[in-house]
């Protein structure tokens, strides 16, 4: 073979003549995107995304089909190339209809793979579900109890009946493991030599510490209060999150090797400069929002008035603010509900909650509102405090005014307008103010470094919202401190985001922030989703959660909500509609759309399903709405399998321009070799999977097929310990090609009928026995019969299914132990 | 196989006989189709059934079942008569040609056409085509499962040598092995007459090597019993204990009734399998083995390529890899055959198996190697007999004509031939667990010709009783032109309609292979 020299991206390479540019680039480690090319097939030049720029050529050319020439100077990522690829991608994306990632996961601040963990649950793989959860959320026992679960509001099942009980399922798997003493702890790599300080031991700080440990970095958490947990411990009441559970969850996390410094307040007990001196190379600042928002009325600092956060944290610290009389709670958020319900439990005679809008506008989760009301808290809607009244230097009563609601304000909620003359006075012993939280900025005035930190126009610390890096390069900021009061899961998301950024910062890598990847959606809002998607879905009601009966809640903090049972979790899980695309982790269109920064919102997409789904094939489902007409299916079938079982049908002509692409279809010549599924670059062709299909990120094990004598090289692809797919490996003798049995016939491996236990015949019946018992019977009987009848009376059938090693050993057993050559197998059958 | 699978796509002339390749070895079947479609290969198919490959064939010989010797000898007759054979090759690399040439004189096109039913013209076309360029022969059980199976293979070897078609890429005689490791089971000495690498048990040298490696004395020197002889021995009470690993003879072997009776006669039957098979149900002890996905090791494929098997998941339930079970049994019998892992066994295999000596797990980590591979710097052997036959000169064998042992008569007027279909595998213990495969092929379908269907008043979809001298089963009929007049076909995957309740135990005298491809039956519509 003649070698020729050429240049790709200024890199000089020498390759064999006859190679294509694509092959030459791939060999040199330069990746060129392609959607319609596979080494087994002749270039089809359909997708047009593999184009490159060649010096001296006017037009871009397809690298998959152009042979190299000596002296070529090729640019694979020039601006002209990139622009062309973006054009192609936009065109191909225009017809796409689906959800890359399910809306539940898209809505989750931490982007938990909800569809994935529910699919695990549906197979009884609870620990697998928990592992998947912990990839993004290291505190599932706590979050499973306190999360306001926006995922459930986004659940498409809302369009059919009721949303899935996503958070209760998460709690179930976390509790399942905890009750059995199973700790899901990913392996911690050896010490990286880097030290990081996490300032603030709330959920954000804890999560950051967890994910930093997974890189092998050393972490110390500096916490101002006597215990870790942040608002999880100090703001969320025991009846929602038992502290014993929180303690256990935190301890599990600390057991990964995290140092803890308690009672250490930033600016007072330590400074950023001091941390640097001690060898901490980066810090994550997540000290939360601990200051209650004030009413702004004169006299609100008097005894008898307290912020909800103070009230709740005092209780958590074991110094409850006792009040047997009447209590007023001002506010409509979750903290207001927590405070009101806590007051009831502390023995208050009557608790009244006042909110300036109506029930519908309450920011608290509706489940919390109902529970609060159910426990006996009185609600006064459409009222605003106007005056604090006192007696003997102590709060005595509140004057409020009644409101009516007018058109929406800037927040999108109806605007309360006072009704003049409607002032009313309400007496109480204690008033709890729960109208919001803000950050206590005291440390920012004390720490010399923080004084110079860039702040936002609202006086809050500023940081890059993707990397969380602040204007001080080794300081990363996240959680409520950065974003204002948010959810626990948002803080956790920031903790992980910070860990990734800090790792990249310390490794001197370019920042690749945690992002969700390219995503298309069948409808951002539930009402936008085409009803055709829900045709034929049978209604099934949501699991109802068991609660502690009211009388049993009186004057105590016992946990109110129960964990769902295993049966309930299984039943609930299969309600999942598996909205997300099966190809989400492997789709090349999605990968390239992200790589080339395609803005999904700028695409003119159909927004409705144009082509019906095709589901008749026993192994392959077709979604033409995800087809990009790359022809890989047709070509692999007609030119490699030589079956001509795949065809493209012309589309009806009434469709808009962008939709006029042929529709893939399988005819009855199909022999189910599955090459088409393996080659499809998008989710248009999918391998069917019984039950909830995932998708999962699959782990591959290369091995040899167990069917015929060809010995195809295959990848067994598994999630957890379950084989979900088989793919051909591009090695001899099959070079990626498989037959129907090799690709799809793997159910037997983990079939329920597999023999799992030795069987020994007793009284004529085969009966389960231990290995010891069975092996003893075997050895004894062989020895007896050998003694009585000699070696010639022994017969051994070895197996054409077993390995060489096993066949060899069987031969050795026959010849060296039984001393017979009576050994054979069914080679002739 | 003498050749490699990779060579097929570039082979100029391909002769496929007794192999429904696209259904039983689909990857090879597709390679043959690509050779024809993309690379201009010419395909000759010799098969009574109209298999998919006949669509791609330049020439299709439709012989009567069991008459293979006649057409193979017939082709040679024409090639010699027309002086199309490779005289140089025959002279330099073979022996025994003159004798064979003489024996072929009677196999005139007329004679052959009469026996086989193949039109004379087709014989000429096939003979000329085969002799025209380097040609590869591919066959499976359609050639071997006959009472004269060995002779069929010898005849193909004669044909191949005659045209100088051995010892080159793509040119050779290629049995396509049916089971994942049937090649390896043979290589490892899982046969009564040979140890590993086909060293005869009668060889004192081979025994000495093994006795030294194994640290034992008294390895038996007389060949043992073959499978069919064992079952006979069981029935006659000369075999008193049997250990069956990963085989299901009740369904796979001819004359199931006889097998069941035999297995019931032994004093102690141990079966080791992944499922409670029809055979396991008869056992005294059943031990659960691990599937290929749950253990490490190697398989040797049909092209002699040793490839890694890797553990992907933990053994299901309390099952264990078969080698561990054998090890534990031997240990309890006082001869501990113990190894830390599969690779340790392989290292021992290398020491006593010359053709495997150069293969290590490390070398086959990425890609397998083909034996013979005699040293660690040996690249493996993609095709055999290059420049020289293993035995020196290639030996021509005189192969006289022989037909099937059982022929149709008034009582059993049809020929039954058995085989596999694409969607199932062997006795179905694996594939019938797949809902998708079951959907594609839910039950035993009997192919019957249009003409016979008319005679026996059978329509597609009818339930049909199929009876031979040995037993009876019930199947569903499919009337098709795929099958020739006078013959019916059923697959043997379905235990509830086990083909082998009908088949004949007549054996080839050398290989002891049963005549599963031909027996006589009658059909009756049910209801």
Instruction: Give A758-772 pLDDT, tens digit per residue.
Output: 999 999 999 999 999
CATH 3.40.50.740 fits B178-223+289-317+339-375, yes or no: yes
Structure confidence at residue A664 (pLDDT): 86
| A812 contacts on B by Cβ (under 8 Å) | 214, 337
Window B:471-490, CB contacts with A under 8 Å: none
Structure confidence at residue B14 (pLDDT): 98
pLDDT of A432 above 60? yes
| B226 contacts on A by Cβ (under 8 Å) | 824
Structure confidence at residue A434 (pLDDT): 95
| pLDDT band per the 50, 70, 90 thresholds, residue A457 | confident
Chain A residue whose CA is closest to B332:
A779
Lowest average pLDDT, out of A474-478, A492-496, A613-617, B70-74, goes to: A613-617
Q: How far apart are CA A757 and CA A105, in angstroms?
A: 41
Q: What is the DSSP string of A35-104?
A: SS--TTS-----S--SEEEETT-SS-EETTTPBP-TT-EEESS-HHHHHHHHHHHHHHHTT--SBSS-HH
User: Distance of alpha carbon A593 from its chain centroid, rounded?
Assistant: 20
Contacts of B298 (CB under 8 A, 6+ apart): A704, A803, A804, A805, B184, B306, B307, B308, B309, B342, B346, B361, B364
Structure confidence at residue A656 (pLDDT): 61
β-bridge pairing A51-54 and A73-75: antiparallel
pLDDT of B140 above 70? yes
| B28 contacts on A by Cβ (under 8 Å) | 710
Give the tens place of pLDDT for each residue, B73-118. 999 999 999 999 999 999 999 999 999 999 999 999 999 999 999 9
Segment B302-306 mean pLDDT: 97
Residue B181: name the closest of B332, B18, B53, B322 by CA. B322
| B297 contacts on A by Cβ (under 8 Å) | 803-806
CATH 3.30.390.50 fits A3-93, yes or no: no
Residue ranges per structural domain of chain A:
3-93, 103-184+522-573, 195-290+439-506, 293-435, 588-750, 759-824
Q: What is the DSSP string of A748-814?
A: GGG-TTB--S-EEEETTEEEE--HHHHHHHHHHHHHHHHHHH-GGGEEEE--SSS-HHHHHHHHHII
Mean pLDDT for all residues in chain A:
94
Which of A711, A749, A792 is facing B307, going by the closest CB pair? A711
- CATH architecture, domain defined by B5-176: 3-Layer(aba) Sandwich (3.40)
Mean pLDDT for all residues in chain B:
95
Lowest average pLDDT, out of A83-97, A642-656, B502-516, goes to: A642-656
| A810 contacts on B by Cβ (under 8 Å) | 190, 245, 322, 326
| pLDDT band per the 50, 70, 90 thresholds, residue A655 | low
Chain A residue whose CA is closest to B334:
A817
Structure confidence at residue A659 (pLDDT): 55
Structure confidence at residue A412 (pLDDT): 76
Structure confidence at residue B255 (pLDDT): 84
% of chain A exceeding 70 in pLDDT: 99
| pLDDT band per the 50, 70, 90 thresholds, residue A654 | low
Q: Does B495 touch chain A (CB under 8 A)?
A: no
Secondary structure in 3-state letters for A412-429: CCEEEEECCCCCEEEECC
Chain B residue whose CA is closest to A753:
B275
User: B165 near B172, Cβ under 8 Å?
Assistant: yes
Structure confidence at residue A407 (pLDDT): 84
Q: Does B291 touch chain A (CB under 8 A)?
A: yes
Residue A650: name the closest of A613, A616, A624 by CA. A624
Whether omega before B42 lies within 30 degrees of 0, making that bond cis, reads no
User: A685 near A663, Cβ under 8 Å?
Assistant: no
Chain A residue whose CA is closest to B211:
A816
Q: How far apart are CA B481 and CA A365, in angstroms?
A: 70
Four-way CATH pick for A588-750: 3.90.550.10, 3.30.365.10, 3.30.70.20, 3.40.605.10: 3.30.70.20
* Shortest distance, CA A582 to any CA of chain B (angstroms): 19
Residue A204: name the closest of A234, A177, A239, A228 by CA. A228
Cβ-based contacts under 8 A for chains A and B? 474
Residue B138: name the closest of B243, B218, B43 by CA. B43
Cβ atoms within 10 Å, residue A69: 11
**What does the DSSP 8-state code read for residue A547?**
B
Task: Give the Cα-Cα-Cα angle B432, B438, B444 (nearest 5 degrees).
Answer: 85
Q: Does B341 touch chain A (CB under 8 A)?
A: no
- Topology of domain B414-525 in CATH is Barwin-like endoglucanases (2.40.40)
CATH number of A103-184+522-573: 1.10.1060.10
Segment A476-489 mean pLDDT: 93
A293-435 and A195-290+439-506 share a CATH fold:
yes
Residue A156: name the closest of A457, A433, A527, A504 by CA. A527
Chain A residue whose CA is closest to B366:
A731
The CATH superfamily assigned to A195-290+439-506 is FAD/NAD(P)-binding domain (3.50.50.60)
pLDDT of A240 above 80? yes
| A693 contacts on B by Cβ (under 8 Å) | none
Chain A residue whose CA is closest to B347:
A805
Which of A690, A761, A813 is facing B326, going by the closest CB pair? A813
Q: Bridge partners of A132? A: none
Contacts of A768 (CB under 8 A, 6+ apart): A757, A758, A759
Q: Bridge partners of A791? A: none
Residue B422: name the closest of A628, A682, A738, A691 by CA. A738
H-type alpha helices, B56-181: 68-81, 87-93, 97-103, 109-116, 120-130, 141-144, 149-162
- Topology of domain A293-435 in CATH is FAD/NAD(P)-binding domain (3.50.50)
Sign, Cα dihedral of B23, B24, B26, B30: negative
Structure confidence at residue B241 (pLDDT): 97
Structure confidence at residue A663 (pLDDT): 81
| A688 contacts on B by Cβ (under 8 Å) | 436
CB contact under 8 A, A731 and B366: yes
Structure confidence at residue A514 (pLDDT): 85
Residue ranges per structural domain of chain B:
5-176, 178-223+289-317+339-375, 414-525
pLDDT of B391 above 70? yes
Q: Does B179 touch chain A (CB under 8 A)?
A: yes
| pLDDT band per the 50, 70, 90 thresholds, residue A515 | confident
Cβ atoms within 10 Å, residue A609: 17
Inter-CA distances, A541 with A123, A316, A537, A572, B348, Å:
20, 37, 12, 9, 62
Q: How far apart are CA B53 and CA B228, in angstroms?
A: 33
Structure confidence at residue A40 (pLDDT): 87
| B193 contacts on A by Cβ (under 8 Å) | 821
Structure confidence at residue A657 (pLDDT): 60
Segment A269-294 mean pLDDT: 94
Segment A172-191 mean pLDDT: 96
């Amino acid at each position: 073979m003649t070698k020729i020299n050429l240049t790709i991206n200024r890199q000089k390479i020498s390759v064999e003549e006859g190679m294509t540019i694509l092959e030459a680039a791939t060999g040199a480690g330069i990746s060129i995107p392609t959607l319609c090319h596979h080494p087994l097939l002749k270039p089809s030049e359909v997708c047009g995304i593999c184009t490159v720029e060649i010096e001296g050529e006017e037009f871009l050319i397809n690298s998959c089909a152009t042979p190299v020439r000596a002296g070529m100077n090729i640019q694979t990522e020039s601006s002209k190339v990139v622009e062309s690829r973006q054009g192609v991608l936009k065109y191909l994306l225009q017809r796409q209809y689906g959800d890359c990632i399910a809306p539940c996961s898209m809505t989750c601040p931490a982007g938990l793979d909800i569809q994935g963990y529910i699919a695990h649950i549906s197979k009884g793989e609870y620990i697998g579900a928990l592992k998947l959860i912990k990839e993004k959320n290291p505190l599932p026992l706590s979050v499973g109890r306190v999360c306001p679960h926006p995922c459930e509001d986004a659940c498409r099942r809302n369009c059919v009946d009721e949303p899935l009980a996503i958070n209760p399922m998460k709690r179930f798997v976390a509790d399942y493991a905890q009750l059995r003493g199973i700790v899901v702890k990913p392996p911690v790599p050896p010490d990286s030599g880097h030290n990081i300080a996490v300032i603030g031991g709330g959920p954000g700080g804890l999560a950051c510490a967890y994910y930093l440990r997974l890189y092998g970095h050393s972490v110390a958490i500096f916490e101002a209060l006597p215990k870790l947990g942040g608002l999880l411990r100090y703001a969320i009441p025991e009846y929602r999150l038992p502290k014993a559970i929180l303690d256990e969850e935190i301890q599990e996390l600390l057991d990964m090797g995290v140092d803890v410094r308690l009672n250490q307040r930033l600016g007072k007990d330590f400074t950023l400069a001091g941390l640097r001196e001690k060898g901490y190379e980066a810090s994550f600042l997540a000290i939360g929002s601990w200051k209650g928002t004030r009413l702004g009325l004169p006299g609100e600092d008097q005894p008898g008035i307290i912020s909800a956060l103070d009230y709740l944290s005092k209780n958590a610290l074991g110094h409850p603010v006792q009040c047997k009389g009447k209590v007023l709670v001002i506010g409509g958020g979750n903290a207001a509900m927590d405070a009101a319900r806590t007051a009831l439990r502390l023995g208050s005679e009557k608790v009244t909650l006042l909110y300036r809008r109506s029930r519908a506008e309450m920011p608290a989760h509706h489940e919390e509102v109902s529970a609060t009301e159910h426990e006996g808290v009185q609600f006064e809607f459409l009222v605003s405090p106007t005056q604090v009244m006192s007696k003997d230097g102590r709060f005595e009563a509140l004057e409020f005014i009644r409101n009516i609601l007018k058109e929406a304000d800037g927040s999108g909620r109806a605007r309360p307008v006072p009704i003049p003359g409607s002032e009313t006075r309400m007496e109480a012993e204690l008033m709890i103010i729960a109208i919001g939280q803000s950050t206590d900025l005291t440390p920012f005035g004390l720490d010399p470094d923080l004084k110079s930190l860039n702040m936002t126009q609202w006086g809050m610390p500023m940081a890059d919202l993707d990397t969380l890096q602040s204007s001080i390069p080794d300081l990363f900021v996240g959680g409520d401190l950065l974003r204002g009061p948010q959810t626990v899961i948002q803080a956790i998301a920031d903790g992980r985001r910070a860990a990734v950024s800090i790792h990249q910062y310390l490794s001197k890598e370019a920042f690749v922030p945690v992002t969700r990847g390219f995503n298309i959606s069948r409808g951002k809002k539930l009402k936008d989703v085409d009803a055709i998607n829900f045709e034929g879905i049978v209604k099934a009601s949501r699991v109802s959660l068991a609660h502690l009966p009211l009388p049993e809640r009186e004057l105590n903090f016992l946990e109110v909500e129960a964990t769902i049972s295993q049966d309930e979790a299984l039943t609930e899980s299969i309600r999942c509609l598996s909205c997300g695309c099966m190809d989400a982790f492997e789709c090349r269109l999605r990968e390239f759309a992200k790589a080339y920064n395609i803005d999904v919102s700028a695409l003119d997409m159909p927004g409705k399903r144009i082509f019906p789904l095709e589901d008749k094939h026993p192994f392959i489902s077709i979604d033409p709405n995800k087809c990009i007409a790359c022809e890989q299916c047709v070509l692999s079938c007609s030119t490699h399998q030589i079956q001509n079982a795949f065809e493209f049908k012309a589309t009806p002509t009434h469709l808009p321009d962008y939709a006029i692409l042929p529709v893939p279809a399988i005819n009855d010549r199909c022999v189910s070799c599955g090459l088409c599924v393996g080659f499809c670059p998008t989710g248009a062709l999918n391998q069917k999977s019984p039950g909830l299909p995932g998708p999962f990120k699959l782990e591959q094990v290369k091995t040899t097929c167990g069917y015929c004598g060809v010995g195809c090289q295959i990848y067994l692809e598994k999630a957890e310990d379950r084989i979900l797919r088989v793919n051909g490996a591009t090695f001899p003798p099959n070079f990626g090609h498989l037959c129907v049995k090799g690709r799809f016939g793997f159910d037997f491996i983990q079939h329920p009928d597999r023999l799992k236990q030795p069987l020994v015949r007793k009284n004529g019946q085969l009966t389960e026995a231990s290995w010891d018992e069975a092996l003893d019977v075997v050895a004894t009987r062989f020895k007896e019969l050998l003694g009585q009848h000699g070696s010639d009376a022994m017969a051994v059938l070895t197996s054409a299914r077993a390995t060489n090693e096993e066949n060899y050993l069987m031969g050795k057993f026959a010849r060296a132990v039984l001393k017979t050559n009576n050994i054979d197998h069914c080679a002739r059958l | 196989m003498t050749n490699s699978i990779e060579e097929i796509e570039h082979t100029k002339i391909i002769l496929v006989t007794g192999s429904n390749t696209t259904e039983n070895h689909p990857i090879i079947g597709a390679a043959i189709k690509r050779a024809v479609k993309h690379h201009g290969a010419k395909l000759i198919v010799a098969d009574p059934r109209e298999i998919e490959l006949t669509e791609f064939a330049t020439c299709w010989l439709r012989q009567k079942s069991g008459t293979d010797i006649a057409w193979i000898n017939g082709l040679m007759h024409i090639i010699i008569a027309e002086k199309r054979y490779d005289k140089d090759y025959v002279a330099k690399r073979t022996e025994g040609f003159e004798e064979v040439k003489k024996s072929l004189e009677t196999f005139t096109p007329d004679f052959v056409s009469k026996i086989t039913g193949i039109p004379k013209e087709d014989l000429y076309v096939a003979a000329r085509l085969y002799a025209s360029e380097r040609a590869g022969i591919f066959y499976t059980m359609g050639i071997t499962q006959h009472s004269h199976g060995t002779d069929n293979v010898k005849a193909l070897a004669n044909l191949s040598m005659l045209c100088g078609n051995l010892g080159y890429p793509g040119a050779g005689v290629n049995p396509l092995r049916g089971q994942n490791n049937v090649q390896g089971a043979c290589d490892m000495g899982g046969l009564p007459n040979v140890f590993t690498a086909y060293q005869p048990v009668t060889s004192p040298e081979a025994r000495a090597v093994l006795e030294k490696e194994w640290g034992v004395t008294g390895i038996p020197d007389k060949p043992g019993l073959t499978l069919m002889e064992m079952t006979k021995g069981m029935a006659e009470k000369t075999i008193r204990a049997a250990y069956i690993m990963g085989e299901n003879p009740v369904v796979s072997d001819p004359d199931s009734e006889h097998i069941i009776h035999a297995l019931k006669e032994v004093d102690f039957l141990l079966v080791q399998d992944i499922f409670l098979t029809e055979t396991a149900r008869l056992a005294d002890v059943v031990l659960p083995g691990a599937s290929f996905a749950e253990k490490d090791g190697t398989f040797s494929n049909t092209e002699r390529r040793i490839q890694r098997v890797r553990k992907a998941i933990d053994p299901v339930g309390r099952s264990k890899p078969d080698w561990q079970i054998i090890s534990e049994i031997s240990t309890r019998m006082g001869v501990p055959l113990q190894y830390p892992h599969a690779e340790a066994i392989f290292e021992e295999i290398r020491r006593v198996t010359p053709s495997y000596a150069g293969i290590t797990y490390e070398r086959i980590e990425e890609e397998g190697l083909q034996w013979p591979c005699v040293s660690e710097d040996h690249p493996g052997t993609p095709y055999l007999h290059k420049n020289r036959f293993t035995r020196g000169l290639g030996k021509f064998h005189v192969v006289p004509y022989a037909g099937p042992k059982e022929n149709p008569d008034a009582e059993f007027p049809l020929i039954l031939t058995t085989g596999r279909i694409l969607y199932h595998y062997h006795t179905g213990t694996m594939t019938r667990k797949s809902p998708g495969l079951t959907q594609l092929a839910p039950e035993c379908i009997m192919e019957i010709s249009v003409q016979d269907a008319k005679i026996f008043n059978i329509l597609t979809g009818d339930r049909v009783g199929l009876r031979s001298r040995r037993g009876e089963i019930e199947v569903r009929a499919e009337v098709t032109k795929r099958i020739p007049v006078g013959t019916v076909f059923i697959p043997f995957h379905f235990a509830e309609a086990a083909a082998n309740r009908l088949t004949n135990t007549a054996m080839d005298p050398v290989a002891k292979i049963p005549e599963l491809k031909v027996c006589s039956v009658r059909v009756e519509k049910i209801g």
